[in-house]
Amino acid sequence: MAVSFTVLHRDKESRARLGILQTAHGAVETPVFMPVGTQATVKTMTPEEVHDVGGRIILSNTYHLYLRPGHELIRDAGGLHRFMHWDSPILTDSGGFQVFSLGPLRRITEEGVVFRSHIDGSEHFFSPEKAMEVQSDLGSDIAMAFDECAPYPSSREYTLEALDRTTRWAGRCLAVHRREGQGVFGIVQGGMFPDLREKSAHELVALDFPGYAIGGLSVGEPKELMYEILDHTVGFLPQEKPRYLMGVGSPDCLVEGVARGVDMFDCVLPTRIARNGSVLTRRGKLVVRNAQYARDFSPLDPDCDCYACRNYTRAYIRHLIKAGEVLGIRLTTIHNLRFLFNLMEEIKEAIREARMIEFRDKFLSIYQDV
């Protein structure tokens, strides 16, 4: 099988677990955070740097690569791994989320979605078959089924419609998928309706994917509601398959998500806030571009072992960011990813040592969400 998963250890007090995700480009320990390389690059970083901070699998975006530079070009370059010089696993999303986010620029039918490029306004058509073709050309290790993600809030009626379409599209994805060495994950939808989540999970589990994503969360709903729906949904997913919570990656959500049985996460948050001059710490977000750090000669985070924290001060990094220097956002990006990977290591250790709930409670007592 192209993708396989082994649970190594289960926590007794929570749904947290340790596992190994096996792909055509090697194995990855779970729970795992996947940095996002939207345009075939984790913004500002080389692949070696991504690996050095702890990255073992990245996510790349089908929609963006389809539009630029084009999936055929990447296929002709030898696939995405070779094109971007990253030899470890890659997961590609289906393009669905981006296409549905285009709002007035897209039109949905049973066949698929007509949309306009955000780059040049040209018209394009995406369908389950097209999403599989593009991801096959990209050659990712894990492809995602083409789904319809209902925005928040949505009516029960529309959410059900999107869910049913997502199930039908999931079947069409599997029917045409041929790429060797690539596994396809299904995406559970159902919005904020527990019974619809159950319906979606049952229908997709019947299709027997090698892994399941939980989509349609972290789309604007309160975190408590997200946790509630997550708890409920995970209950209907098979124990022996990996569970992937899409688009989630703030430190508190990682801790809470793992405790609820999630194995995989991705999010632009660490890299995006880095480019705005903000860094993650155990106490919460620190906006290093703020004037109060102009003469602060301490590291971004005194507890961090990353390249930025070992060699530079807040004052220097603030100077770089204020001056528009690329090195500034390189350093904040390195720090933020290293921070998350260190956190994931601590989480795995806590699971291994049967103190995940204790770890979570202690972490959340210090961390201030902003």
Least CB distance to its own copies at residue 334 (A) = 10
Q: What whole-number distance in Å separates Cα of residue 349 and Cα of residue 12?
A: 14
How big, in percent rounded to 5, are the helix, strand and coil portions of the chain? 45, 20, 40
Assess 39 for contact with its own copies (CB under 8 A). Answer: yes
> Do the beta carbons of residue 19 and residue 263 sit within 8 Å?
yes
Dmax over CA atoms of the chain, in Å, equals 60
**Strands (DSSP E) along the chain, which ranges?**
4-10, 17-23, 26-30, 32-34, 58-60, 90-92, 106-108, 113-116, 123-126, 142-144, 183-188, 212-214, 243-245, 264-266, 278-281, 284-287
Stretch that binds its own copies, among 1-9, 12-20, 52-60, 73-81 (CB under 8 A): 73-81
Assess 259 for contact with its own copies (CB under 8 A). Answer: no
Stretch that binds its own copies, among 33-41, 149-157, 188-196, 345-353 (CB under 8 A): 33-41
Known catalytic membership, residue 266: yes
Instruction: Pick one of 9, 107, 295, 352: the residue that binds its own copies (CB under 8 A).
Output: 295
Assess 4 for contact with its own copies (CB under 8 A). Answer: no
Q: Which of residues 94-153 bind its own copies (CB under 8 A)?
A: none
> Do the beta carbons of residue 187 and residue 145 sit within 8 Å?
yes
Tokens of 55: 């990255």
Least CB distance to its own copies at residue 316 (A) = 6
Assess 292 for contact with its own copies (CB under 8 A). Answer: no
Looking at the Cβ atoms of 68 and 107, the one nearer to its own copies is: 68
Tokens of 151: 């925005």
Instruction: Pick one of 228, 319, 355, 357: the residue that binds its own copies (CB under 8 A).
Output: 319
Known catalytic membership, residue 93: yes
Looking at the Cβ atoms of 4 and 39, the one nearer to its own copies is: 39
Q: Which of residues 200-239 bind its own copies (CB under 8 A)?
A: none
Contacts of 82 (CB under 8 A, 6+ apart): none
Q: Which of 11, 93, 141, 147 is catalytic?
A: 93
Q: Report the 10 Å Cβ neighbour count for 64.
A: 18
Residue with tokens 């939808």: 189
Residues with active-site annotation: 93, 266
Contacting residues toward its own copies, per CB under 8 A? 39-41, 43-46, 68-69, 73, 76-78, 83-85, 294-295, 297, 307, 311-313, 315-316, 318-320, 322-323, 325-327, 329-330
